Amino acid sequence: MAKMNMLQAINQALTLEMERNDRMLVFGEDVGHFGGVFRATSGLQDKFGKDRCFNTPLTEQGIAGFANGLASNGMTPVAEIQFADYIFPAFDQIVNEAAKFRFRSGNQFNVGGLTIRTPYGGGIAGGHYHSQSPEAYFTQVAGLKVVVPRNAYQAKGLLLASIRDNNPVVFFEPKRLYRASVNDVPEEDYEIPLGQAEVIQDGTDVTVLAWGAQVEVVQKACDMAKEAGISCELIDLRTLAPWDVEAVAKSVIKTGRLVINHEAPLTGGFAGEIAATIQQECFLYLESPIMRVCGLDTPYPLVHEKEYMPDAFKTFEAIKASVNY
């Protein structure tokens, strides 16, 4: 075990897998010698050479398309998109190509080896072009897996599982926790299985669900609720596609209530999908309407970031409203 921040844990996962799998490549804007603008790929070029860890020209479309080509021919590309806000130029290559390679070819070709890593989320005074949480766009794309770790330990295990998964994965990294989240992380190789939610805290009154950076936020809300005598069951979804319906339903059947928190805007956000599914699965067990605490239906603002965020206070209010319905 070692104390590690999320960037170090990600770096370690990449290093371990590059050592094990000589077909793995790491590339993206500034990821080579410089180690990426957040330094997640530091030292990899020195260790594995310029053929396996390199800067690309400044083209997300190119990065994703190149990665698709590599993966379709037996390689394991781990591509970095510098900020999730800049994944949209690569949207076509991800949505129409990566996700459908296997389906459209009758499984003659696939890009299962592909992983796209990208820092997402707000809380860093980044304004609307350095703060977005675009995960919901990708959850609608059949054929893709979507993974969001909440801390350093999770990041390492989930990233290793994502790289080894035989499907293309978009891996969203909560940038505001990159240095802030420090955990005990085993030095050795371990995987955290995809598609499984984790119950972080048992409780009886209400299920509170989040992923990525928001888990920390809802944890605070659960602590506030505890003071107010409310027992929260806290779940980290971890994988959004495919998501663990069973684990969430099981918890809601027990508690009878669900509060979902995410940073992306409310309308069309992934919380809507979860709410609809859970009300179908658990209708007879629900004691109150499923609550969503999300970003507002505006672009992510700069000066009103604090107000915009689905923070612990808003979540606490939703928990109370759910329990007192």
Partner 1 sequence: MSQSNFSEAVIHRATFIERDSLTIPILKILQADGTTYEDAVLPQIDQQLSQRIFDACIFTRVLDERMLAAQRQGRISFYMTCTGEEAAVLGSVAALDDGDVILAQYREHAALRYRGFSTQQYMDQLFSNEQDLGKGRQMPIHYGINALNFQTISSPLATQIPQASGVGYSLKLQQKPNVAICYFGEGAASEGDFHAGLNMASVHKVPVIFFCRNNGYAISTPTEEQYAGNGIASRGLGYGMHTIRVDGNDMLAVLAATQQARAYAVKHSAPVLIEAMTYRLGAHSSSDDPSGYRSKDEEAKWQQHDPVKRFKLWLIKEGWTTEADEQALYSKYRDEVLAAVKVAEKVPSPKIDLLIEDVYDQPPPRLKQQLEELKQHIAKYPKAYPKTAGRL
Ligand X SMILES: Cc1ncc(C[n+]2csc(CCOP(=O)(O)OP(=O)(O)O)c2C)c(N)n1
Catalytic residues: 60, 130
DSSP-based helix, strand, coil % in the chain, nearest 5: 40, 20, 40
Kind of pairing between the strands at 232-236 and 198-201: antiparallel
What span, in angstroms and rounded, lies between the C-alpha atoms of 60 and 55? 12
Rounded distance between C-alpha atoms, residue 57 and residue 174, angstroms: 24
Q: Does 96 bind partner 1 (CB under 8 A)?
A: no
Q: Which of residues 253-282 bind ligand X (CB under 6 A)?
A: none
Size of the site for partner 1 (CB under 8 A): 41
* Residue 69 contacts which entry, partner 1, ligand X, none (Cβ below 5-8 A, type-dependent): none
Among residues 13, 27, 136, which one has the least CA distance to residue 71?
Answer: 27
Beta strands in the chain (DSSP E): 2-5, 24-28, 53-55, 76-80, 115-120, 145-147, 169-174, 182-185, 198-201, 206-210, 232-236, 239-241, 258-265, 291-295
Instruction: Return the range that interacts with partner 1 (CB under 8 A); candidates 16-24, 140-148, 218-226, 297-305.
Output: 297-305
Among positions 191, 220, 301, 321, the unique one binding partner 1 when judged by CB under 8 A: 301
Least distance to partner 1, CB of residue 133, Å: 16
Structure tokens at 190: 């371990």
CB 208 within 8 A of CB 261: yes
Residues 6+ apart with CB under 8 A from 303: none
With CB under 6 A as the contact rule, which of the stretches 82-90, 138-146, 173-181, 193-201 interacts with ligand X? 82-90
Interface positions, 12-31, toward partner 1 (CB under 8 A): 29-30
Among 82, 167, 181, 207, binds ligand X (CB under 6 A): 82
Q: What are phi and psi of 54, to 5 degrees?
A: -150, 160
Kindly state whether residue 89 participates in binding ligand X, applying the rule CB under 6 A: yes
304 binds, among ligand X, partner 1, none (CB under 5 to 8 A by kind): partner 1
Looking at beta carbons only, is 61 or 196 nearer to ligand X?
Answer: 61
* 140, burial (CB in 10 Å: exposed 0-12, middle 13-18, buried 19+): middle
Asked if 65 touches ligand X (CB under 6 A), the answer is no
Distance CA 37, CA 58 (A): 13
Indicate which single residue of 43, 127, 186, 195 sits in contact with partner 1 (rule: CB under 8 A): 127
Find the shortest distance in angstroms from Cβ 40 to partner 1.
14
Amino acid at 275: A
Q: Which listed residue (2, 20, 47, 59) binds partner 1 by CB under 8 A?
A: 59
Residues that bind ligand X (CB under 6 A): 29, 58, 60, 82, 86, 89
Residues that bind partner 1 (CB under 8 A): 29-30, 32-34, 37, 54-55, 57-62, 85-86, 88-89, 125-130, 266-267, 296-299, 301-304, 306-308, 311, 313-314, 317
